Structure formats: C-alpha cells, structure tokens
Chain A
C-alpha cells in the first residue's frame, strides 16, 4: 500500500553533494511559495501565479443570477446561440454593478462584436444581433434543472445593421438594471471572479 511513498528515514549519502547556493535557491523557492500563499489567503488576494484559490469560497444564495450573451441567427426562424465564457460572465457581472452600467455594457457588447465579428464557427449561420440577458433562478432542491429561468431581463441588444453604421450604437432596449453603484471590488465582485 505504500506505492505513493518514498523513504525519508534512511537516506543514502549523497555522492554528488549539492552546492550551497543551490540549496539556498531551494530554501528561497520553498519560502517564497509558502509566504506568497499565506499572504494571499490572509489578504484574500490573487497574485497570479500565486493565489488563495477561492473557488466556490463565497456562499451561493438561492437567488442565482447569471449574465449571458447570445448571438441571434439570420435564419427564417432565428435562434439564440449562447456565447459562453467564464471571463465574459464575470466581466458583464462586474460592469453591471457600475454606476454607468448601461454605457459600459453597451460598449462591451459592441467591442465584442467588433473583435469577433458576426460569424461564429460551428453554428452554420450568421448572426444578425447580439443579445445580453440576465437570467435569474430561485434554486430549489428537487426542481427541474432544465426549467426556464424564473426571470429573464434583456439588458441590451446590438443589431448588426446598427453596428455597421456606427461604432457607438444606441440601445434598442432599455436596461432593466438595479445597480449597486460601486467601482471598488465588492464581495459580490470577488465572488463572480472566484466562481
């Protein structure tokens, strides 16, 4: 049962001793890793590549909200194709908490469209619009996991024809946002990043 184990107790003498400087390098590296991680845990920091590893460390409320971006296809019956990415979700969630959220979110979706265009590989259709939603579920044990969100807010829609005529399109849908204005990293912001 000791396949994962090496002996610490009866080492053979080292036929090629390590130089003192190399030994100090090892001590310094070990010390740096220990102190770096301890610092991040105590200060709740994240200093890549050192971290406090706060995955799922914040309590999840039963009220679950997630920002999602969709591309709308140009088919006879348009489909909404989700564009997924943890960085996108946490970026939108962060922007939504800012006092100028509507402007920021509009700019974020517009710049996304400018960078990635209107064709998405694998979907077989071009997009005619991007839509940014906030979905909300009240989480309950035993509820159907495939059920539709309890609330759906269309925060912003960027239509392709608008985007090609102007780089700063106006909103076609008024945002239904109730923001908690702050630019500082709140507990909520940290939680989004920690997910």
Chain B
C-alpha cells in the first residue's frame, strides 16, 4: 500500500524543471489561436432561440445566452488573454482569464442539440494551466524574473503535476470513448457490420473524407471487425500509458496514428488533440539534447547524433 502511495506521489510530484511545462503552455496557447482563427465563436449568438437545448452547465449555473456584440467583446478579450498566455506575459492572470472566457465561449456552441467532443478537452487543459505555474518557463515573465534577480527557477513538483494531469485527462478521454462503445452497443460494435457502415455512411455527407480508402476497406467485413477491435482495445488500454513507462511511446504514438486514420477515413479531424499530444514529450530533455548536439558538433567539427537510449536520465 505504501509502495502504491509512493508511486502515486512520484507520478504527480517528482520535481521537474519548468521548461517542459512552459514549452507546452507556449505550444498549447499558440495552437489555440490557430484552432480558433478566424474567431467566430461569437456568431453562435445568432442561432435562433428555437434551437436551444442548454447543456447542464448553462442550466445549473443559470448562464445567460449573451448577445452577439457582448460575445464579440468577450471573444476579443479571450484572444488577447490567449496571446499573453502563449508568450507568458502576466501569465497567471492571462491563463485564468483565458480559462474563464474560453469556458463560456467554447461551451456556447454545444447548446444547440449537438455536443462536440473536441473543445471540452481544451477547456479542461486551460483550467489545468490556470491552476499551474506554467509561466515559470519559456515565458516573458520568467525572462524578466531572471533579468531582475539573476536566479534560475529550481526543479519543482509544480512543474510536473500539470503535465501529468493532461496525461490523465487524455487517458480518461480515450478510455471513456472505448468503454462507451461497449456500454452502448456491446460486442456488436466489433462483431457487426457497424464499422463498414460507418466507413460508407460518411461518403454520403457533405464533408467527404479525403480518401476513398474507407470504401475499399468496407468491402472486407473481417478487416472492419479487426479494425473495430483494435480501436476499442487501444482506447481501453490508454491508461496503461500512465502506469508503465515502456508502454507510453507505443500507446501514445498508436493513438495519434489512429486519430490520423479517423481523419483520413471519416473526415473527422480531432485537431484539438494535436496540442494535447505535445504534453507527452519531455521538452527539457529535447532541449538538452539539442544543446548537447550543438556542443558536440562544434567540438568535433561535424554533426554527431547521440543514441537516444544513452540519454541522461534525471
């Protein structure tokens, strides 16, 4: 029991340098700008009242449906907060404002009969970053602090838990997706012609997949069953990536490839997840390795690649 508690504690709170979290913050909020461009969330205010089907958070907290001009101002403030959060200026305030405004704006589009399943992860990651000290690395705030005091931020658990929380979030998302398939449709989700029908069906919608590979695959029922089984197995096994270090790379990489496959076969691109995968890369070590390679090549006068397995482990 003590060993389990120790593992749990280490998982969340082993000290880390601020670089990985800071770089993830920079990439995540920069990605948010790209995802939201050209900033049209305020136009949800035009959606007729008769289409409204408020989600629980709007009902529970009695959130109002604001008019378009108010939402436009909110969205512009949100964009400003995202820019500040990305560059790391007034980071604590910027991330808090980005979460508060983003939560409302991203939630708004889900009040009209269709709940999307991409943006909610963004809202939760913004919450995690707002509660974290993500401005201590890769930020103007950190640069100013270093310039004033000359001190470099020490390793801390504060820079580890937010990254691990994003890992947990992703594990829950994929596990829930896999479990939902079995809870709602049982083994028929794998053994029936559901996958084949899904692959064909999307070709009758306006937004067609970029390839006709799905139509080809749909001709082979057994192959479709294997694909369905593989998808459910991968989704259900994602939490193992949290527990077993050796499984992290294969599971995360295969899940990324699965999502690319979904985009190619079904025209559903979970673009939001690109900026969640960033949290799985130990950027501080990547930075160290690049620096090391630079030193090596200067010393030897030629490019020198360091074997990955010989990297220094902290």
Chain A residues within 8 Å of B, Cβ to Cβ:
1-18, 22-23, 25-26, 29-30, 33-34, 37, 40-42, 44, 46-62, 64, 66, 68, 82, 84, 86-87, 89-91, 94, 107-108, 111-112, 114-116, 135, 137, 139-143, 145-146, 149, 193
Interface centre among A2, A13, A17, A50 (most CB of B within 10 A): A2
Determine whether B147 belongs to the interface, using a CB cutoff of 8 Å to chain A: no
Task: List the A residue with the shortest CB-CB distance to B235.
Answer: A53
Determine whether B77 belongs to the interface, using a CB cutoff of 8 Å to chain A: no
Task: List the A residue with the shortest CB-CB distance to B280.
Answer: A4
6 interchain pairs, CB-CB under 8 A: A1-B249, A4-B248, A15-B15, A16-B156, A17-B157, A37-B172
Query: Is the CB–CB distance between A59 and B194 below 8 Å?
Result: yes
Smallest distance from the beta carbon of A182 to chain B beta carbons, Å?
A: 15
Residues on B with C-beta less than 8 A from A41 are: 176, 179-180, 183
Residues on A with C-beta less than 8 A from B143 are: none
Q: Known contacts A48-B56, A61-B197, A135-B204; decide if A86 and B15 are in contact (CB<8 Å).
A: no
Say which residue of A8, A49, A89 sits within 8 Å of B107 (CB atoms): A49
Query: Is the CB–CB distance between A3 and B281 below 8 Å?
Result: yes
Say which residue of B114, B198, B203 sits within 8 Å of A91 (CB atoms): B114
Query: Is the CB–CB distance between A145 and B57 below 8 Å?
Result: no
Could you list 7 further interchain pairs (A-B, Cβ under 8 angstroms) beyond the known A18-B157, A37-B172, A56-B181?
Answer: A6-B245, A16-B15, A44-B183, A48-B57, A87-B51, A115-B48, A139-B197
Query: Is the CB–CB distance between B113 and A193 below 8 Å?
Result: yes
Residues on B with C-beta less than 8 A from A52 are: 176, 179-180, 183
Residues on A with C-beta less than 8 A from B308 are: 1-3
Say which residue of A12, A37, A62, A111 sits within 8 Å of B15 (CB atoms): A12
Determine whether B218 belongs to the interface, using a CB cutoff of 8 Å to chain A: yes
Query: Is the CB–CB distance between A18 and B314 below 8 Å?
Result: no
Say which residue of A9, A47, A55, A115 sits within 8 Å of B47 (CB atoms): A115
Smallest distance from the beta carbon of B237 to chain A beta carbons, Å?
A: 15
Chain B residues within 8 Å of A, Cβ to Cβ:
7, 10-16, 46-51, 53, 55-57, 103, 107, 109-110, 112-117, 120-121, 123-124, 128, 131, 154-158, 161, 165, 168-169, 172-177, 179-181, 183-185, 188-189, 192-194, 196-198, 200-201, 203-208, 212, 215, 218-219, 221, 245-246, 248-249, 252-253, 268, 280-282, 285-286, 308-309, 311, 313-314
Say which residue of B15, B184, B197, B198 sits within 8 Å of A54 (CB atoms): B184
Task: List the B residue with the shortest CB-CB distance to A10.
Answer: B313
Query: Is the CB–CB distance between B314 and A7 below 8 Å?
Result: yes
Interface centre among B128, B194, B309 (most CB of A within 10 A): B194
Query: Is the CB–CB distance between B124 and A26 below 8 Å?
Result: no
Query: Is the CB–CB distance between A33 and B46 below 8 Å?
Result: no
Say which residue of B12, B55, B201, B282 sits within 8 Å of A60 (CB atoms): B201
- Assembled-state Cα–Cα distance A87/B16 (Å): 43
- Assembled-state Cα–Cα distance A107/B107 (Å): 25
Query: Is the CB–CB distance between B120 and A64 below 8 Å?
Result: no
Query: Is the CB–CB distance between A8 and B184 below 8 Å?
Result: no
Residues on B with C-beta less than 8 A from A141 are: 196, 200, 215, 218-219, 221
Smallest distance from the beta carbon of A14 to chain B beta carbons, Å?
A: 4
Query: Is the CB–CB distance between A29 and B165 below 8 Å?
Result: yes
Query: Is the CB–CB distance between B188 and A53 below 8 Å?
Result: no
Query: Is the CB–CB distance between B50 and A111 below 8 Å?
Result: yes
Residues on A with C-beta less than 8 A from B121 are: 49
Say which residue of A37, A46, A60, A111 sits within 8 Å of B197 (CB atoms): A60
- Assembled-state Cα–Cα distance A29/B194 (Å): 36
Query: Is the CB–CB distance between B204 and A37 below 8 Å?
Result: no
Q: Known contacts A141-B196, A145-B215; decide if A48 and B253 are in contact (CB<8 Å).
A: no
Q: Known contacts A8-B10, A141-B219; decide if A18 and B50 are in contact (CB<8 Å).
A: no
- Assembled-state Cα–Cα distance A193/B180 (Å): 14
Q: Known contacts A2-B308, A4-B280, A48-B120; decide if A55 and B177 are in contact (CB<8 Å).
A: yes
- Assembled-state Cα–Cα distance A34/B173 (Å): 10
Q: Known contacts A29-B131, A53-B177, A91-B113; decide if A139 and B200 are in contact (CB<8 Å).
A: yes
Say which residue of B7, B114, B156 sits within 8 Å of A18 (CB atoms): B156
Residues on A with C-beta less than 8 A from B110 are: 48
Smallest distance from the beta carbon of A44 to chain B beta carbons, Å?
A: 7
